Chain A
Amino acid sequence: MSTATASPQTAGHPHSSLGRLSFPRVVRSEWIKLRTLRSTFWTLASVVVLLVGLPALLAAVVPSLSAIESRAPKSQLAEFTTNTATSGLTFAQLVVAVLGVLVISGEFSTGMIRSSLAAVPRRFPVLAAKAIVLFVTSFVIGLVSFAASWAIAVPLLTAKGYAGELFTSSTLWNIVGAAAYLGLVSVFALGVGAIVKSTAGGIATALGVLFVLPIIAALLSATLPKQTWIADASHYLLSAAGSGMAGLANGSLDPWVNVVTVLVWAAVAFVVGAVLLQRRDA
C-alpha cells in the first residue's frame, strides 16, 4: 500500500471551515446511524409484515356472517373490525421495543458509545436525538402500516357482513393512536436500554413490562377477585393503555388518560436513562 509513504494531508490550520456541533446535526447523525444498520431494516420490515399481514390474513380467512349474526349490534360488529385491523399491534410493539433497546445497547456492547460521547460530550443530546429519530421512524412506519391494514380489513370484512368505515374520525384516531403508541414504545425501550446498558437485559426488561406484567396482573386478579384494585391498576400498564390508544376495547380508561399513561411510561424510562447516561462513566 502507498500509505506508508504518503504524507498525511491535513488542511492548513486546525480550525478551517469545518462546522460546529449543533442539536439538528446530532439528530442527522443519529438518523445516519439508524439507517446504516441491517438490524434496523429487518426489525422495521417485520413490523410492517406483522401490522399489515396479520390483519389481511385474518380478514381473508374469517367466515362470512349468517343473516341472523349480522343483526348483532353495530358496535359489536365494528369492534370486531377494529380488533382485526389492529391485530398486529400486540406483536409489533415487541419488535419495536427490541429496536429501541438495540439503538442504545448496541452502542454500549460495541464501545461505539465512547465515539458518540466523544463527539457530543454533553451526552444528553445523543439520547434526545436517538429518541426523536426512533419516535418519528416508528410513528411513520406505524402510520403507513395501520392505514394499509385498515384499508385491507374494512372492505374484506364489510363484504362478509361486519361493520366498519375507513374514513371516519374514530378510525383515523385509532390509526394515529396506534402509530403514536408504537413510537412511544420505542422511546420507552430506548430509556430501558440506556438504564440497563446490555442488549439481553434491555430486551428482557422491555418485553417483561409489555408482555409479562399484563399476564401477572390478569393471573392475580383472577386468583384474588376481591382485590379489585389489581384489575383497576392493570389498566395503567403500558400495553393496556397502548391498546386503548389504538381503539381496542380492553382498555377502559378515558382516551386521553391512555395517552398520558403511555407518555408517562416513556418519559420515566427516558429521563432515568438520561440521568444515568449523564452520571455514569462511559
Chain B
Amino acid sequence: MIQLDHLTKRFGAKTAVDDISVTIQPGKVTGFLGPNGAGKSTTMRMIMGLDRPTRGRALINGKRYAEFRSPLTEVGALLDAKAIHTGRTAYSHLLAMAATHGIPKSRVHEVIGMTGLESVATKRVGGFSLGMGQRLGIAAAMLGDPATLILDEPVNGLDPEGVLWVRQFARHLASQGRTVFLSSHLMSEMAQTADHIVVLGRGRVLADAPVDQILAGATRHAVRVRTPQPDDLARAIAGADVAVTGVEAQLLEVTGLTAPQIGEAAARNGIVLHELTPLSASLEEAYLELTQDDVEYRTEVSR
C-alpha cells in the first residue's frame, strides 16, 4: 500500500505536485494518468525518496522508503528507461544492483529470462532501443521480488507485443496481492490495464476512482440525428432540458433525450430520420474532459 499524504513539490515558483492525498491499494493495478508535465514522475520520485517533498509525505506500507532495511525487496521501481549507465552491459547493471542487497546471480538470470533479455544481456545498454531499455528497467525492478511496484510509463517505446506483455505482467503481479502503481499519459492503455485510476492534471488529483466509475461519470448522453427536416425535429423535441446543436445542414446533436425518445417523437410527428446514433464518451474522451483545463503544454489547434 502506498499512502500519499498532502504531498507537495515546488520547484522555485512552479508547483509540480500540489497537495496530493491518495491511497494506492495492494492487489490492484492502479493507473496514474495525466498529460505530460502533470507531475506523475515527480510524485513517483518522491515516493522513492529521490525528490524531497516540499510538504507532506509518501509512505509505503507505513514507512518512508529510506527507512527500509532492504529497499529493493520492498519496492521495485522503473523510474525512467534512462536511469541506467549506457556504458555497462545489461547483465553487469543488474549484477551491480543485485550486489547491494546480496541478491544471488541466479536471481539476475531469472529476471533476465522473465523480461526476455537473454539475447542482449551481454550487450552494452547504450545500444539498446527504448523498448529494451524498458525491459531492463523492469528486470531491475523485479530483482528483489518486491511487494510494491512503481512503474513510470512502462509501455513507453514498447512494440505491441511488449505492451501486451507489460499489461499481463502488471495484472499478474497485482493478482499475487502486490501493489502495482503505473503511470501513463495514454488513457486507452490504462483502460485495459488498470483496476483503479488516479488522474493528475497540473499537479492536482482530478479523479481517484475505479475505471468504470471514471468512465460513467464523464459520459455524455448525446444522440446524433440525421434528418432532412431538422427544423421540424427541433420543434418536436424542444423542452427545458433538451439542447439541440446543428452539426451540418441535416445533422443534429441532441442532449437531454435518449435515442428511443427522439425516435418516438419523430414517428409521432411523421418526421423522416436517416440516422439515430447514441454517442457515449470513450475513456479517452472522458480523460480529455477531465484534463482539458489542466494540460500544461497545449497547442493552439487543439483548443
Binding site for B on A (CB under 8 A): 1-4, 6-11, 14-16, 18-22, 25-26, 28-30, 32-33, 36-39, 106-107, 110-115, 117-122, 279, 281-282
- Cross-chain contact A119 with B66 (CB below 8 angstroms): no
Q: Report the bound CA distance from A47 to B110 in whole Å.
A: 38
- Cross-chain contact A8 with B169 (CB below 8 angstroms): yes
- Cross-chain contact B77 with A118 (CB below 8 angstroms): yes
Chain B residue nearest to A114 in the complex (CB):
B83
A32 with B92: in contact, given A14-B146, A121-B48 (CB under 8 Å)?
yes
Identify which of residues 53-78 in chain B touch chain A, using a CB-to-CB cut-off of 8 Å.
65-66, 68-73, 77
- Cross-chain contact A8 with B173 (CB below 8 angstroms): yes
* Inter-chain residue pair count (beta carbon < 8 A): 156
Q: Report the bound CA distance from A113 to B83 in whole Å.
A: 7
A110 with B82: in contact, given A28-B99, A37-B87, A119-B97 (CB under 8 Å)?
yes
Answer whether residue B186 sits at the interface, using C-beta atoms and an 8 A cutoff: no
Answer whether residue B216 sits at the interface, using C-beta atoms and an 8 A cutoff: no
Q: Report the bound CA distance from A29 to B86 in whole Å.
A: 17
Chain B residue nearest to A30 in the complex (CB):
B96
Q: Report the bound CA distance from A10 to B161 in whole Å.
A: 21
Give the residue of B85, B92, B107 whose beta carbon is less than 8 angstroms from that of A107: B85
Answer whether residue B100 sits at the interface, using C-beta atoms and an 8 A cutoff: yes
- Taking CB atoms, residues of chain A closer than 8 Å to B100 are 21, 25-26, 28-29, 119-120
- Cross-chain contact B65 with A2 (CB below 8 angstroms): no
A1, A9, A30, A115 pick with most chain B CB within 10 angstroms: A115
- Cross-chain contact B172 with A8 (CB below 8 angstroms): yes
A36 with B92: in contact, given A1-B116, A19-B103 (CB under 8 Å)?
yes
Binary A-proximity of B88-106 (CB < 8 A = 1, otherwise 0): 1100110111011111100
Q: Report the bound CA distance from A6 to B165 in whole Å.
A: 9
Binary A-proximity of B32-58 (CB < 8 A = 1, otherwise 0): 000000000000010011111000000
How far is the CB of A203 from the nearest CB of chain B, in Å? 16
- Taking CB atoms, residues of chain B closer than 8 Å to A8 are 114, 142, 168-169, 172-173
Knowing that A4-B168, A107-B85 are A-B contacts, what are 9 other residue pairs whose CB atoms are under 8 Å apart, sorted by A's residue number? A3-B116, A4-B165, A18-B70, A19-B103, A20-B73, A29-B96, A106-B85, A115-B93, A119-B97
- Taking CB atoms, residues of chain B closer than 8 Å to A282 are 45, 50-51
A32 with B84: in contact, given A21-B69, A282-B50 (CB under 8 Å)?
no
- Cross-chain contact B101 with A20 (CB below 8 angstroms): yes
Chain B residue nearest to A113 in the complex (CB):
B83
Binding site for A on B (CB under 8 A): 45, 48-52, 65-66, 68-73, 77, 79-80, 82-89, 92-93, 95-97, 99-104, 107, 110, 113-116, 140, 142, 144-147, 161-162, 164-165, 168-169, 172-173, 176, 178
- Taking CB atoms, residues of chain B closer than 8 Å to A32 are 92, 95-96, 99
How far is the CB of B112 from the nearest CB of chain A, in Å? 11
Give the residue of A1, A3, A9, A111 whose beta carbon is less than 8 angstroms from that of B84: A111
- Taking CB atoms, residues of chain A closer than 8 Å to B97 are 29, 115, 119
Q: Report the bound CA distance from A261 to B172 in whole Å.
A: 59
Q: Report the bound CA distance from A257 to B173 in whole Å.
A: 60
- Cross-chain contact B107 with A18 (CB below 8 angstroms): yes
How far is the CB of A2 from the nearest CB of chain B, in Å? 7
Q: Report the bound CA distance from A32 to B173 in whole Å.
A: 30
A22 with B102: in contact, given A32-B95, A114-B79 (CB under 8 Å)?
yes
- Taking CB atoms, residues of chain B closer than 8 Å to A7 are 168, 172
Q: Report the bound CA distance from A120 to B50 in whole Å.
A: 11
- Cross-chain contact A18 with B66 (CB below 8 angstroms): no
- Taking CB atoms, residues of chain A closer than 8 Å to B80 are 111, 114
Q: Report the bound CA distance from A177 to B88 in whole Å.
A: 33
A117 with B84: in contact, given A1-B116, A3-B115 (CB under 8 Å)?
no
- Cross-chain contact A21 with B72 (CB below 8 angstroms): yes
Q: Report the bound CA distance from A2 to B116 in whole Å.
A: 8
Q: List 9 A-B contacts (CB under 8 A).
A: A4-B165, A21-B70, A39-B87, A106-B85, A110-B83, A111-B82, A113-B83, A118-B50, A282-B45
Give the residue of B73, B79, B96, B115 whose beta carbon is less than 8 angstroms from that of A15: B73
- Cross-chain contact B66 with A121 (CB below 8 angstroms): yes
Chain B residue nearest to A117 in the complex (CB):
B50
